[in-house]
Amino acid sequence: MNRIFWVLLIGLGLAAPFLIYPVFAMKLLCFALFACAFNLLLGYVGLLSFGHAAFFGGAAYITGHVVKVWGFPPLAGILTGTLFALVLGAIFGKLAIRRQGIYFAMITLALAQIIYFLSLQLEFTGGENGLQGIPRGQLFGVIDLSQPLAMYYTVFAIFMIGFLIIYRAIHSPFGQVLTAIRENEPRAISLGYNVDRFKLMAFILSATLAGTAGATKAIVFQFASLTDVHWPMSGEVVLMTLLGGMGTLFGPVVGATAIVAMYNELSAMGSWINVIIGGIFVVCVLTFRRGIVGELARLLRSRS
Partner 1 sequence: MKRMLMAATCGLTMILASGASTAQDESQGLSSDYVKVGVLSDMSGVYKALEGPGAVVAAQMAIDDFGGSVLGKPIKLVSSDHQNKPAVASSTARQWIDRENVDMITGLDNSAVGLAVQGLASDKGVITMNTGSGTTELTESQCTEYGIHYVYDTYSLPVGTATAIVKNGGETWFFITADYAFGHSLEDNTSMVVENLGGKVVGGVEAPLGTTDFASYLIQAKASGADVIALANAGSDTVNAIKQANSFGIVEQGQQMAGMLVFLTDVKALGLETAQGLQFTTAFYWDRSDEARKWSQRFFEKHGAMPTMVQAGVYSATLSYLEAVKKAGTDDADAVREVLGDMTINDMFVQGGDILPNGLMTHDMYLVKAKSPEQSEGPWDLLEVVATIPGEKAFIPLSESACQLLDK
Angle between helices 74-96 and 52-68 (to 10 degrees): 150
Q: Which of 49, 80, 82, 225 binds partner 1 (CB under 8 A)?
A: 225
Does residue number 123 form part of the binding site for partner 1 (CB under 8 A)?
yes
Does residue number 267 form part of the binding site for partner 1 (CB under 8 A)?
yes
**Residue 107 identity (one-letter amino acid):** I
Cβ neighbour number for residue 16 with a 10 Å cutoff: 19
| Gyration radius (Cα) of the chain, Å | 19
* Residue-wise burial string across 251-281, b where 16 or more C-beta atoms lie within 10 A, e elsewhere: bbbbbbbbbbebeeeeeeeeeebeeebeeee
Q: Closest separation between CB of residue 304 and partner 1, Å?
A: 23
For residue 224, what are the β-bridge partners?
A: 131
Q: What is the dihedral of CA 208, 9, 227, 68, to 10 degrees?
A: 70
Does residue number 273 form part of the binding site for partner 1 (CB under 8 A)?
yes
Does residue number 269 form part of the binding site for partner 1 (CB under 8 A)?
yes
Q: Which of 13, 27, 92, 151 binds partner 1 (CB under 8 A)?
A: 27
- Whether 57 contacts 209, CB under 8 Å: no
* Candidate segments 47-55, 96-104, 270-278, 292-300, binder of partner 1 by CB under 8 A: 270-278
C-alpha span between 254 and 296 (Å, rounded): 12
C-alpha span between 108 and 207 (Å, rounded): 11
- Whether 104 contacts 47, CB under 8 Å: yes
* Candidate segments 51-59, 98-106, 130-138, 201-209, binder of partner 1 by CB under 8 A: 130-138
- Whether 155 contacts 29, CB under 8 Å: yes
* Candidate segments 33-41, 67-75, 219-227, 280-288, binder of partner 1 by CB under 8 A: 219-227
Residue 295 gets which letter from DSSP? H
Does residue number 79 form part of the binding site for partner 1 (CB under 8 A)?
no
Q: Closest separation between CB of residue 27 and partner 1, Å?
A: 6
Q: Closest separation between CB of residue 10 and partner 1, Å?
A: 15
Nearer to partner 1, 19 or 286 (CB): 19
Does residue number 147 form part of the binding site for partner 1 (CB under 8 A)?
no
Q: Which of 10, 101, 114, 132 binds partner 1 (CB under 8 A)?
A: 132
Residues that bind partner 1 (CB under 8 A): 18-19, 21, 23-24, 27, 117, 120-121, 123, 126-130, 132-133, 217, 221-223, 225-227, 263-264, 267-274
